[in-house]
Amino acid sequence: MVAEGYEGVLVYFGCAGWLKRVYKKVEHEMIEMVKMTKSVGRDPRRIIHSIKVASAITLASFFYYFKPLYDSFGASAIWAIITVIVVFEFSVGATIGKGLNRMIATILGGALGFGTHYLANLCGDKGLPLILGALVFVVAAIATFMRFFPSMKARYDYGLLIFILTFSMVAVSSYRDDEVLKLASDRFLTIVIGSFIAVSICIFVCPIWIGNDLHDQLVNNVENLATFLQEFGAQYFRSSQGVEQVNKASMHKYKTILTSKQSEESMANLARWEPGPRKFGFRHPWKQYLNISSSARECAYRVRVLDVYLKNNDQIQIESQFKEEFLRMCKESAKALKEVAMAIKKMAPPALASAHIERAKATTENLSSLLANHRFEGLEMIPTATLVSLLIDLLCCIEKVADCTRELGCVANLRRGESLGAVVPAADQDLINV
């Protein structure tokens, strides 16, 4: 009796302990979930996007709720809902790209499917599945192989997938279903309607242009490089009286550009689908953006090396006359990069950048003559000489970024001139007068 009671107490405490652990775990998971939701929801565009998608699905489901609509399409109406869900992407470019790919691929695949059906029918009932199977095999294999072509992969990958899908569906189901023509045309119509719902809501309700994102990201990346140089100068070369505070968080924002190549390329590919927010328009020179970005990335490699070099060697002593020149050089380089960022923002040639670059070059000459006339003891000259080389190298890269931006400004001006039917005066003047 006593033993039983004892066991009961043990079981009770065991259960209580287990429940407590489960409760703790669930509580922890819930807190993590709330934190995650908060951090994801910090970008309100994500919440708006979710509501847009849900509205588009609800709109497409009216095909089911309203009898007259349902009577004309029947069960094919489901393809409108499927299309909305599959086609609706975060950005306008991606949505238009997917919608067009889906519509064009459906019509091409459907047509080829019918052709196959009639061709196979010529061979009589017995050979029909054989011929159908062989044709489906060949077309699917060729289309799958074509998905590896780089030019196809970049913009028409989804279209090729849907082409294979529609072609197989029409060709194979024609074997059992005599009404396949009606079915296929209904399906095509509902896909067109679904695509239109998705694309319209995507464009007309708080649109998210991926072109804008790419533009802003590039401007930010170049600004981050400028910020690094500014803070870097303040951290290592300011005079001892200086009390400037160095912001380490904003100093290291440049790191994102190091690995941004692939995402920028896919953004540029999607941006090509966009009819464009007011300031860009079709045929915007996205390729120039990638050029600027890749030369900015070359800057970032140098910046990375500079950053780690001084972090690892923070006990090194640099003489104050060098420090002044280094500080001036960092400041001028940062100003040049800020000019470039501003020029990208306005899509105009960076007018004042070359002045800053020239001034930075003058300081490198000062540095060289200081180095040549200075007497160093032992290994003292290594860090100073290294910094001079790295900064000169960085300056070359900054010059290239400015050149690429100048090109972008010229091309963009030309495009604007074309679209206005007149030549716009060079934007340089604007910038100089500002």
Residues 152-211 that bind a second copy (CB under 8 A): 161, 164-165, 168-169, 172-173, 175-177
Q: Which of residues 268-297 bind a second copy (CB under 8 A)?
A: 297
Q: Which residues contact 232 (CB under 8 A, 6 or more apart)?
A: 251, 306, 307, 310, 330
- Closest distance between a second copy and the C-beta of residue 428, in Å? 29
- Based on CB atoms, which residue is closest to a second copy, 167 or 280? 167
Residues with Cβ < 8 Å from 346, sequence gap 6 or more?
427, 430, 431
Here the tokens at position 199 are 């694309």
Buried (b) or exposed (e) across 144-156, using 16+ Cβ within 10 A?
Answer: eebbeeeeeeeeb
- Contact characters 84-123, a second copy, x per CB under 8 A: -xx-------------------------------------
Nearest to 169 by CA among 325, 305, 177: 177
What phi and psi values does residue 395 have, to the nearest 5 degrees? -60, -40
d(CA 402, CA 257) in angstroms, rounded, equals 17
Per CB under 8 A, the list member of 111, 131, 133, 428 interacting with a second copy is 133
Alpha-carbon distance of 357 to 431, in angstroms, equals 17
Nearest C-alpha neighbor of 206 from the set 359, 364, 418, 55: 55
C-beta of 7 vs 43, nearer to a second copy = 43
- The whole-angstrom separation of Cα 169 and Cα 267 is 32
Do the beta carbons of residue 225 and residue 337 sit within 8 Å? yes
Min separation Cβ 318 and a second copy, Å: 13
Binders of a second copy among residues 368 to 387 (CB under 8 A) are: 368, 371-372, 378-379, 381-383, 385-386
Interface pick for a second copy out of 72, 200, 259, 321 (rule CB under 8 A): 259
CB of 94 to a second copy, least distance (A): 13
Smallest distance from a second copy to CB 115, Å: 17
Half-sphere exposure of 79 (CA within 13 A, CB side): 19
* CA distance linking residue 389 with residue 400, whole number of Å: 17
Q: Using CB under 8 A, which of 196, 203, 301, 362 touches a second copy?
A: 301
Binding residues for a second copy, total number by CB under 8 A: 76
Shortest reach from residue 409's CB to a second copy, in Å:
26
Binding positions for a second copy, 46-85, rule CB under 8 A: 46-47, 49-51, 53-55, 57-58, 61, 64-65, 70, 75, 78, 81-82, 85
Query: Binder to a second copy among 21, 261, 283, 287 (CB under 8 A)?
Result: 261
Q: Which is nearer to a second copy, 54 or 423 (CB)?
A: 54
The C-alpha angle 411, 275, 104, rounded to 5 degrees, equals: 125
Among 129, 242, 275, 425, binds a second copy (CB under 8 A): 129
Q: Contact with a second copy (CB under 8 A): which of 12, 18, 137, 282?
A: 137
- Going by C-beta distance under 8 Å and a sequence separation of 6 or more, which residues neighbour residue 284? 211, 271, 276, 412, 415
Contact 400, 358 (CB under 8 A): no
Residue whose CB is less far from a second copy, 60 or 219: 60
**Interacting positions 28-47 with a second copy (CB under 8 A):** 36, 40-41, 46-47
User: Does residue number 148 form part of the binding site for a second copy (CB under 8 A)?
Assistant: yes
- Reduced to 3 states, what is the DSSP secondary structure of residue 205? coil
Residue 318 region by backbone torsions, left for phi larger than 0, else alpha for psi between -120 and 50, else beta = beta
Nearer to a second copy, 249 or 379 (CB): 379
Query: Please, which residues have CB within 8 angstroms of residue 150's CB and are 6 or more apart in sequence?
Result: none
Closest distance of CB 65 from a second copy, Å: 4
In the complex, the smallest distance separating the C-beta of residue 63 from a second copy, rounded to whole angstroms, is 9
With CB under 8 A as the contact rule, the residue among 119, 141, 423, 432 that binds a second copy is: 141
How far, in Å, CA of 93 to CA of 101, rounded?
12
For a second copy, the closer CB: 96 or 367:
367
> In residues, how long is the chain?
434
Residue list 303-342, contact with a second copy (CB under 8 A): 304-305, 308-309, 312
Q: Which is nearer to a second copy, 237 or 280 (CB)?
A: 237
Instruction: Tell me which of 11, 15, 396, 423 binds a second copy, using CB under 8 A.
Output: 396
Kindly write out the interface string for residues 239-258 of this chain, putting x where it contacts a second copy by CB under 8 A and - elsewhere.
Answer: -------------------x
Q: What is d(CA 184, CA 168) in angstroms, rounded to the nearest whole number?
A: 12
- Token match 């966009």: residue? 274
